[in-house]
């Protein structure tokens, strides 16, 4: 269990890069969907290349179940990052990131209600604290020209989508014998879904005809490949060596429900520091209260 705590805390810190890029890329004229497609496709190809040097699991039924969970997770995660990027163009990045990542209360509920993981009074108080921080979102007002209605709507939408994505990511830890599926192949399954998410989203919103032109433009952009390489270095290391092994470790110890609180807690603290020190964002009293309630909820859910 100690390994799981350390591993997932490091994974949470690695997520900072995704938040930074999702907030920065649109300002640099980079299409987020195309960036995600190229990053995910690269992840998939590298992981498959590495996975071919390993023996494939003999149990095709288990492998298929893991594939479906993580492929779906990738598609949903793609949508989450696109919505998150939209919210970050309209409002305070630190607050938006914190509330969005609080979507882990949904896999927490899944673990407690479906898989009967331990839920103490402290954890339930943490759950209520996060819900209260979301309710306060509706009362937040800005005096700096931010799009109040837009960022709140997209933040809440990203919160819901995050919860669904994280639930799908956590499911393989509860599938019998799923640990036999290599973390490298799990990363490949997720990467394939994340890449597929871009054309699927474009088809659903009626902008399918823009997929290839924007992708071609992204492939020719040096900045896009800079972002892609930067995210690959940290993502692959975290997924191959820490993420799935860490979740399996906690699930085996009967503490699977705290997996995402650990990662989110480390991520929120790091990103809030980035928002204040680097982006020079200021916080209203209500925003500070929202952040404090969110962080208290994360800490409580980790017990």
Q: Look up the pTM and report it.
A: 0.80
Residue 276: pLDDT band with limits 50, 70, 90: confident
- 67-71, 86-90, 105-109, 125-129: range with lowest mean pLDDT: 105-109
Give the pLDDT score at 217. Answer: 93
pLDDT at 299 over 80: no
pLDDT in tens, 33-65: 999 999 999 989 998 998 888 766 667 888 999
Residues in contact with 244: Cβ distance below 8 Å, sequence separation at least 6, in sequence order: 172, 173, 183, 186, 187
Distance CA 131, CA 95 (A): 14
Give the pLDDT score at 302. Answer: 66
Distance CA 93, CA 278 (A): 11
Long-range residue pairs from 144-148, CB within 8 A, at least 24 positions apart, any chain = 146/90, 146/91, 146/92, 147/90, 147/91, 148/91
Q: Which is nearest to 239 in space by CA: 28, 43, 6?
A: 43
Distance CA 282, CA 208 (A): 38
pLDDT at 118 over 80: no
Give the pLDDT score at 60. Answer: 83
pLDDT in tens, 80-109: 998 998 898 888 888 888 888 788 788 878
Give the pLDDT score at 149. Answer: 63
Who has greater pLDDT, 268 or 203? 203
- Which pair of structure tokens corresponds to residue 196? 């597929």
* % of the chain surpassing 90 pLDDT: 22
pLDDT at 142 over 70: no
Q: Which is nearest to 128 in space by CA: 300, 303, 302?
A: 300
User: How many CB atoms neighbour CB 9 within 10 A?
Assistant: 17
pLDDT in tens, 155-182: 889 999 999 998 998 888 888 788 788 8
pLDDT at 280 over 90: no
Distance CA 231, CA 30 (A): 15
* % of the chain surpassing 70 pLDDT: 93
Distance CA 52, CA 262 (A): 32
DSSP letter for each residue of 177-214: TGGGS-HHHHHHHHHHHHHHHHHHHHHHTT-GGGHHHH
Give the pLDDT score at 143. Answer: 47
Give the pLDDT score at 114. Answer: 80
DSSP annotation of 144 reads S
Residues in contact with 251: Cβ distance below 8 Å, sequence separation at least 6, in sequence order: 173, 174, 259
Angle at 75 between CA 238 and CA 72, to 5 degrees: 85
Residue 267: pLDDT band with limits 50, 70, 90: confident
Crossing angle of helices 183-204/244-252, nearest 10°?
110
Give the pLDDT score at 240. Answer: 79
pLDDT at 264 over 70: yes
Give the pLDDT score at 12. Answer: 83
> How much is the mean pLDDT over the chain?
84
Q: Which is nearest to 158 in space by CA: 195, 109, 106, 117?
A: 106
């Amino acid at each position: 269990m100690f390994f799981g705590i350390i591993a997932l805390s490091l994974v949470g810190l690695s997520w900072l890069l995704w938040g930074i890029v999702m907030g920065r890329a649109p300002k640099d004229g980079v299409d987020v969907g195309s960036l995600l497609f190229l990053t995910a496709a690269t992840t998939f190809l590298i992981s498959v290349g590495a996975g071919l040097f390993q023996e494939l699991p003999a149990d095709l039924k288990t492998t298929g179940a893991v594939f479906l969970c993580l492929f779906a997770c990738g598609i949903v995660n793609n949508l989450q990052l696109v919505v998150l990027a939209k919210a970050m163009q309209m409002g305070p990045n630190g607050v938006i990131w914190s509330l969005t990542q609080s979507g882990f209360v949904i896999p927490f509920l899944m673990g407690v209600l479906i898989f009967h993981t331990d839920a103490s009074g402290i954890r339930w108080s943490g759950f209520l604290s996060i819900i209260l921080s979301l309710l306060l979102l509706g009362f937040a007002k800005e005096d700096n020209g931010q799009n109040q209605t837009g960022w709140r709507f997209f933040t809440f939408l990203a919160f819901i989508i995050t919860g669904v994505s994280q639930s799908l990511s956590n499911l393989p830890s509860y599938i019998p014998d799923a640990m036999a599926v290599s973390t490298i192949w799990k990363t490949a399954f997720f990467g394939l879904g994340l890449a597929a998410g871009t054309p699927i989203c474009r088809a659903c919103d009626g902008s399918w005809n823009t997929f290839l032109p924007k992708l071609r433009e992204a492939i020719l952009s040096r900045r896009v490949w800079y972002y892609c390489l930067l995210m690959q270095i940290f993502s692959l290391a975290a997924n191959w060596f820490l993420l799935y092994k860490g979740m399996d470790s906690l699930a085996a110890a009967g503490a699977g429900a705290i997996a995402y609180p650990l990662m989110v807690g480390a991520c929120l603290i790091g990103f809030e520091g980035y928002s204040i020190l680097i982006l020079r964002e200021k916080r209203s009293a209500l925003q500070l209260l929202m952040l404090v309630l969110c962080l208290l909820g994360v800490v409580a859910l980790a017990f």
